[in-house]
Amino acid sequence: MSLAWQFYVSTLLIYVGVDIMAVWALNLQLGVAGVLNFAFIVFQAAGAYTAAVVTLGPASRTGFQHYVGGANWPFPLPVLAAAVVGAVLALVIGLFSLRRLRNDYQAIVMLVVSLIATLIATNDVGLVNGSNGLSLVPKPLASVLGVSPYGIQYQWFFVGVTAVICVLAYWFINRITSSPLGRSLRAMRDNEQVAAALGKNVLWLRLLAMMAGGAVAAASGAILVVLITAWSPSSWLFPETFSYLAAVIIGGSGNNLGAMLGALLVPVGFLEAARFMPSFGNPNLVGALQWIAVGALLLIFLWFWPRGVIPERRRRFPAGRSD
Amino acid sequence: MSVFWASLGFGVVTASILAIAAVGFTLQFGATNIFNLAYGDVMSAAAFVGYLVTQAHLGLWAALLAGGAFGSVFSALLNRLVYAPFIRRGTRLFGMIIVSIAVSLMLANTMQAIWGANFYSLAIPPARPFRIGPFIFTTIQLVIIAIAIAAMAGVHLLLRHTRLGRAMRATANDATLARNCGIRTDLVVDVVWLLSGFLCGIGGVVLVANVTSFDYGTGGNFIILILTAAVLGGVGQPYGAMLGALVIGVASEVSAAIITPAYKELIAFVILVVVLLIRPQGILSEIAAQKEVVAA
């Protein structure tokens, strides 16, 4: 493979890892727990900002970018910090939006939360450098390995790191979805009243799904920011949430394998394919057609295969012989 | 003090635009239980229709009529051809929200494909300022306020004093019961979408008439304020939407003048979140509270 191709393939693989993690996280919230989290991208963004800030080092007052809480933490810590921030943010957002509201109002409040987050990140320049965003985020471990952070060896090394974190994320999510907790979440999704009547704490279950998903989403953001070394409010606009949403639904809502396939189809396959399309018409035309196609694909799936390519396994339990 | 009065004036104008749009949005939810998140994009499309009409030198009134007519027909078709079939097929509340987002995305990007990411302005004569008491309004703004008052009065008279309005309220309240009482609910739903679409289209044209320039995303960005106003008042409640629009419009513009313009939308959202914490079903919301059982 030529060097350019190696760069392309390794970058694509890292994107694949990031998207798969994000889709697993959203699948836990939407597919398994039934929380329509329109603020999903905020968690990925919060993770990216956290990881960027704790690797960038303390902000100098005369520097070109301003942010809070700079530190020079070594590698695995930024990802962990991002996950913690994601979980805490999910708890805070969940506590006021999931508490007493009807399901559809929850979705709307999430949408509003997503916009509030963009407004704050854009306008409060001291927080994460406003609309210019953060840049020159250092690539971790390059000096330890003794390779150039912008060389191809580092790229492949980072593909490996992404893969490891992906596997950890799968282990974590799968622990939840295949455990009794997962059954409780699905019960709540299918019939909230019945789950509550059986003594399940519905609010707590929802918060838990939000927090676990938020942590994984934030970790995916932490990896993404290392790859692209910059992060600004335009990196996490609402359509990004939509592409993950489409991935979960098209792949198979409630099924980790299906969600993974969805990540390969929508954010990677569909949105990456446009890179190879010859550009024609006005400069926005290809991008616009791409999103029209994603919208149409989603409608087609919701009409013909609302349960996705790989539907959630129908779970059977041995009929009630009490012992 | 003059800053306060000026911003209050702006607030009334914003509230007027918001009221026209939010009442249409909330009527759609009331009649069909759909959060039509593509509403703002239909507004944009209607604004482009209005733009074409003003380009042909037919003036603002013709643009309003054309935009309204477009919104009306487009919304009714949208419901007939997309939303209603999905509901018949058993797509539930969440699914419908996602369907409407997909439609929104497709509409917005279709407009982007046609019109590009350029900015446009309605070709209408430049606005002249008028002094009314402590307020200063331009002619366009006065027209917008007048249209809003007329539209609200029209919706009120229709809902309270006509057979059609009674049928609409009955359908919104309990569609099954209404059908069993001999109301042709399918017809009522069509009329609601035509009517709300008309408000949507007019809303789109006045929205862009009030600003110097617009692009394909102008209406789509406005949907959040519409949602805020509608949910604040209790979604499905036309009077709640009017109240919500007034609160959101005035609060956002006044806070923009007094605190900072950067956060004027944030104020609107904070009001929404606080109100929902105190009164989770919105301000006026008997219908919405019953709907929960149907929707869950």
| Contact call for A245 and B98, based on CB within 8 A | yes
Chain A hits for B262, CB-CB cut-off 8 Å, are 119, 123
A/B interface, count of CB pairs below 8 Å: 121
Give A134's pLDDT tier (boundaries 50, 70, 90).
confident
What digits encode the pLDDT tens for the residues B229-250?
Answer: 988 888 778 888 999 999 999 9
Q: Which of B26, B87, B98 is the mutation pick for testing A, counting most A CBs within 10 A?
A: B98
Give B294's pLDDT tier (boundaries 50, 70, 90).
very low
Chain B hits for A294, CB-CB cut-off 8 Å, are 105
Does residue A312 sit in helix, strand or coil?
coil
Token pair for B63: 């643009």
Asked if pLDDT for residue B62 goes beyond 80, the answer is: yes
Nearest to B113 among A100, A242, A289 (CB): A289
Q: What is the domain partition of chain B in residue ranges? A: 2-295
Q: What pLDDT, on the 0 to 100 scale, is given for residue A311?
A: 87
Asked if pLDDT for residue B289 goes beyond 70, the answer is: no
Does residue A255 sit in helix, strand or coil?
coil
**Whole-number Å distance between alpha carbons of A165 and A76:** 10
Phi, psi of B178 (to 5 degrees): -60, -40
Q: What pLDDT, on the 0 to 100 scale, is given for residue A85?
A: 95
Q: What pLDDT, on the 0 to 100 scale, is given for residue A119?
A: 85
Asked if pLDDT for residue A140 goes beyond 90, the answer is: no
Asked if pLDDT for residue B287 goes beyond 80, the answer is: no
- Alpha-carbon distance B112 to nearest alpha carbon in chain A (angstroms): 6
Q: What pLDDT, on the 0 to 100 scale, is given for residue A192?
A: 86
Q: What pLDDT, on the 0 to 100 scale, is given for residue A45?
A: 94
Asked if pLDDT for residue A13 goes beyond 60, the answer is: yes
Residue that has been written with the tokens 């639904």 in this structure: A249
Residue that has been written with the tokens 């196609």 in this structure: A293
Nearest CA in chain A to B262: A123
| Contact call for A294 and B105, based on CB within 8 A | yes
The torsion defined by the Cα of B131, B260, A111 and B203, in degrees rounded to 10, comes to 10
The three-state (H, E, C) secondary structure of chain B, written as one string: CHHHHHHHHHHHHHHHHHHHHHHHHHHHHHHHCCCCCCHHHHHHHHHHHHHHHHHCCCHHHHHHHHHHHHHHHHHHHHHHHHHHHHHHCCCCHHHHHHHHHHHHHHHHHHHHHHHCCCCECCCCCCCCEEEECCEEEEHHHHHHHHHHHHHHHHHHHHHHHCHHHHHHHHHHHCHHHHHHCCCCHHHHHHHHHHHHHHHHHHHHHHHHHCCCCECCCHHHHHHHHHHHHHHHHCCCCHHHHHHHHHHHHHHHHHHHHHCCHHHHHHHHHHHHHHHHHHCCCCCCCHHHHHHHHHHC
Which residues of chain A from 171 to 200 reach within 8 Å of chain B, CB to CB? 192-193
Q: Which of A242, A292, A294, A307 is the mutation pick for testing B, counting most B CBs within 10 A?
A: A292
User: Rounded to 5 degrees, what angle do the CA atoms B7, B11, B17 make?
Assistant: 145
Which residues of chain A from 44 to 103 reach within 8 Å of chain B, CB to CB? 96-97, 99-103
| Four-residue CA torsion sign, A284, A285, A286, A289 | positive
**Whole-number Å distance between alpha carbons of A2 and A30:** 41
Give B200's pLDDT tier (boundaries 50, 70, 90).
very high
| Contact call for A107 and B228, based on CB within 8 A | no
Q: What pLDDT, on the 0 to 100 scale, is given for residue A50?
A: 92
Q: What pLDDT, on the 0 to 100 scale, is given for residue B285?
A: 61
Q: What pLDDT, on the 0 to 100 scale, is given for residue B206?
A: 95
Q: What pLDDT, on the 0 to 100 scale, is given for residue B291?
A: 46
Nearest to A112 among B105, B228, B263 (CB): B228
Give B290's pLDDT tier (boundaries 50, 70, 90).
very low
| Contact call for A103 and B82, based on CB within 8 A | no
Ranges A53-62, A182-191, A269-278, B15-24: which has the least confidence: A269-278
Ranges A222-226, B203-207, B280-284: which has the least confidence: B280-284
Token pair for B277: 């914490």
What digits encode the pLDDT tens for the residues B126-160?
Answer: 778 888 878 888 888 999 999 999 999 999 999 88
Class (C level, CATH) for B2-295: mainly alpha
Q: What pLDDT, on the 0 to 100 scale, is given for residue B286?
A: 56
Nearest to A104 among B97, B110, B228 (CB): B97
| Contact call for B95 and A292, based on CB within 8 A | no
ipTM of the predicted structure?
Answer: 0.85
Q: Measured between CB atoms, does A299 come within 8 Å of chain B?
A: yes
- What are the residues whose beta carbons fall under 8 Å from the beta carbon of A52, sequence distance 6 or more? A128, A134, A137, A225, A231
pTM above 0.90, yes or no: no
Residue by residue, DSSP assigns A40-101 as HHHHHHHHHHHHHHHHH-SPPTTSS--BS------THHHHHHHHHHHHHHHHHHHHHHSSS-
Nearest to B99 among A192, A291, A302 (CB): A302
For residues A64 and B158, the model is more confident at B158
Q: Which of B41, B44, B93, B106 is the mutation pick for testing A, counting most A CBs within 10 A?
A: B106
Q: Measured between CB atoms, does A36 come within 8 Å of chain B?
A: yes
